[in-house]
């Protein structure tokens, strides 16, 4: 056992014994809810269930009782894997035999959707990532993202499908993660990267730090590279098996296009089968073989994808459209700002006004609105600068670290 409660785990016959025996009775079409805490037991259990052809519904261990029951009521799994037992679930409904994972989205924009991912999509995602990164069976990975979310699952699947050694952490301990860097890859969200940098650790031993789940502020990326990080900024979503664009370039097999209002469209073998038992939502999201992401973007001069932000989070102020992420990037390196988020609030004159929610670096001396506006005006047009400042102790986030922007607006 290493510090922080993590173990190095590898999928394969030696590690799959007990989990395999308990999961061997599952069949294609079965949906098994994994009520399993983050840890090394995940890899042999995941391998055994996939070998049996069953689909897995990971349950986030941080859910409150009513949230957990609501998720189970919607998903209707046929079985539950808890502790060391597999039990049949009353009222369970089988899924399509091609489905390997049913993953709840982060719910940052409302009620989580249940995404169906096939075995073929998972294999395509792992292969394309490995080809782009130049990683293989002998290259270690560090898993410190929750296995209930697609980012953590894809790290574990590198162990299951590639046979890569995976260090599975029971939670996120920045110092423990930093100590595992020698030749390893790690997947993080930007908040985790900031905390990793806060340890003062040299990040150069890591072979690669993949950062996704939200936009990485340019100032944060610059700090990480100054600390020796080989940073890979990823873009994707649960519906695409996680990141399918690395540093603005699509992975092999993935195509990117743009729809109305610059909506980013994705196509390729990693795209979801659909939303579980929700044909209406599936038809709205999958149009002509393209996945509508709900994000806006545009191609840079060199052809790389630039992600502007969520279409439904754009701030309409004075007839102009302002992307919160652009304002956040302009404020993030202010010396008085530890964290910042931007959202719109109704305004009788402008329609909406830009509001900055700031966690101050020094709570006793928060920055002023005038100071922030002047700082932002060096980077962005003045109409994009915040017209209101709200000082907060922390920003609301989902269990996977994504900002819950809708929890900020409308005040």
Q: What pLDDT score does 15 carry?
A: 45
Token code pair at residue 33: 């809810």
Kindly report the average pLDDT of the chain as a whole number. 92
Domain ranges for the chain, please list them.
Answer: 7-233, 314-407
HEC letters along 124-183: HHHHHHHHHHCCCCCCCEEECCCCCCHHHHHHHHHHHHHCCCEEECCCCCHHHHHCCCCC
Token code pair at residue 333: 């390196």
How many whole angstroms separate alpha carbon 164 and alpha carbon 294? 33
Q: What pLDDT score does 402 carry?
A: 83
Cβ atoms of residues 203 and 196 within 8 Å: yes
Partner residues linked to 86 by β-bridges: 81
How many whole angstroms separate alpha carbon 341 and alpha carbon 325? 8
Q: What pLDDT score does 109 carry?
A: 56
Of 200, 115, 128, which is closest to residue 157 (Cα–Cα)?
Answer: 128
Q: Domain 314-407, what fold?
A: GMP Synthetase; Chain A, domain 3 (3.30.300)
Q: Is the pLDDT of residue 18 over 70?
A: no
Of 242, 184, 254, 238, which is closest to residue 211 (Cα–Cα)?
Answer: 242
Q: What pLDDT score does 12 carry?
A: 42
Beta-strand pair 231-237/255-258? unpaired
Query: CB burial class (10 A; 0-12, 13-18, 19+) of residue 147?
Result: buried
How many whole angstroms separate alpha carbon 261 and alpha carbon 197? 36
Q: What pLDDT score does 6 carry?
A: 52
How many whole angstroms separate alpha carbon 268 and alpha carbon 254? 5
The 10s digit of each residue's pLDDT in 237-270 is 999 999 999 999 999 999 999 999 999 999 999 9
Q: Is the pLDDT of residue 225 over 70?
A: yes
How many whole angstroms separate alpha carbon 10 and alpha carbon 167? 9
Percentage of the chain lying above the pLDDT 70 cut: 94
Question: How large is the average pLDDT for residues 90-111?
Answer: 89
Cβ atoms of residues 70 and 42 within 8 Å: no
Q: What pLDDT score does 14 carry?
A: 40
7-233 against 314-407: fold identical: no
Q: What pLDDT score does 2 carry?
A: 36
The 10s digit of each residue's pLDDT in 74-84 is 999 999 999 88
Q: What pLDDT score does 208 carry?
A: 98
The 10s digit of each residue's pLDDT in 42-55 is 999 999 999 999 99
Q: What pLDDT score does 106 carry?
A: 76
Query: CB burial class (10 A; 0-12, 13-18, 19+) of residue 67?
Result: middle
How many whole angstroms separate alpha carbon 36 and alpha carbon 41? 8
Cβ-based neighbour number of residue 66 at 10 Å: 8
Question: How large is the average pLDDT for residues 285-310?
Answer: 97
Question: How large is the average pLDDT for residues 389-402?
Answer: 90
Question: How large is the average pLDDT for residues 22-36?
Answer: 93
Q: What pLDDT score does 11 carry?
A: 45
Q: Is the pLDDT of residue 151 over 90?
A: yes
Of 32, 27, 148, which is closest to residue 87 (Cα–Cα)?
Answer: 32
Q: What pLDDT score does 367 carry?
A: 98
Cβ atoms of residues 160 and 43 within 8 Å: yes
How many whole angstroms separate alpha carbon 27 and alpha carbon 18? 18
Is the domain spanning 7-233 CATH 3.30.460.80? The answer is: no
Q: Is the pLDDT of residue 13 over 50?
A: no
Cβ atoms of residues 240 and 266 within 8 Å: yes
Question: How large is the average pLDDT for residues 373-401?
Answer: 93
Q: What pLDDT score does 146 carry?
A: 93
Q: What pLDDT score does 3 carry?
A: 35
The 10s digit of each residue's pLDDT in 204-222 is 999 999 999 988 988 899 9
Question: How large is the average pLDDT for residues 318-341?
Answer: 95
Token code pair at residue 105: 């989205």
């Amino acid at each position: 056992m290493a510090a922080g409660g993590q173990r190095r785990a590898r999928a394969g016959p030696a590690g799959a014994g007990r989990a395999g025996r308990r999961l061997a009775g599952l069949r294609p079409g079965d949906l098994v809810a994994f009520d399993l805490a983050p840890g090394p037991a995940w890899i042999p259990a995941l391998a055994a269930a996939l070998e049996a052809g069953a689909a897995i519904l990971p349950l986030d261990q941080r859910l409150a009782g009513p949230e957990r029951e609501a998720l189970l009521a919607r998903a209707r799994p046929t079985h539950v894997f808890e502790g060391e037992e597999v039990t049949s679930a009353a009222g369970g409904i089988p899924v399509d035999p091609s489905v390997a994972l049913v993953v709840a989205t982060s719910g940052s924009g409302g009620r989580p959707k249940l995404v169906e991912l096939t075995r073929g999509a998972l294999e395509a995602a792992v292969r394309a990532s490995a080809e782009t990164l130049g990683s293989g069976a002998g290259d270690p990975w560090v898993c410190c993202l929750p296995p209930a979310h697609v980012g953590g699952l894809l790290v574990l699947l590198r162990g299951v499908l590639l046979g890569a050694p995976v260090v599975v952490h029971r939670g996120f301990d920045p110092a423990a993660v930093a100590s595992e860097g020698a030749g390893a890859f790690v997947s993080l969200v930007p908040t985790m990267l900031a905390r990793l940098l806060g340890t003062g650790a040299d990040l150069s031993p890591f072979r690669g730090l993949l950062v996704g789940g939200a936009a990485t502020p340019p100032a944060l990326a610059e700090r990480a590279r100054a600390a020796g990080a080989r940073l890979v900024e990823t873009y994707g979503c649960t519906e695409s098996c996680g990141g399918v664009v690395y540093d603005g370039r699509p992975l092999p097999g993935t195509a990117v296009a743009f729809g109305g209002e610059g909506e980013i469209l994705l196509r390729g073998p990693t795209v979801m089968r659909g939303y579980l038992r929700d044909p209406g939502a599936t038809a709205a999201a999958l149009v002509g073989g393209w996945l509508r992401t709900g994000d806006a973007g545009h191609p840079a001069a060199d052809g790389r994808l630039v992600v502007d932000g969520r279409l439904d989070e754009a701030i309409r102020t004075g007839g102009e459209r302002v992307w919160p992420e652009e304002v956040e990037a302009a404020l993030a390196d202010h010396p008085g700002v530890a964290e910042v988020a931007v959202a719109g609030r109704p305004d009788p004159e402008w329609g909406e006004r830009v509001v900055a929610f700031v966690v101050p670096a020094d709570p006793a001396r928060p920055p002023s609105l005038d100071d922030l506006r002047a700082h932002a005006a060096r980077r962005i047009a003045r109409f994009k600068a915040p017209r209101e400042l709200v000082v907060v102790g922390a920003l609301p986030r989902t269990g996977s670290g994504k900002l819950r922007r809708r929890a900020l607006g409308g005040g």
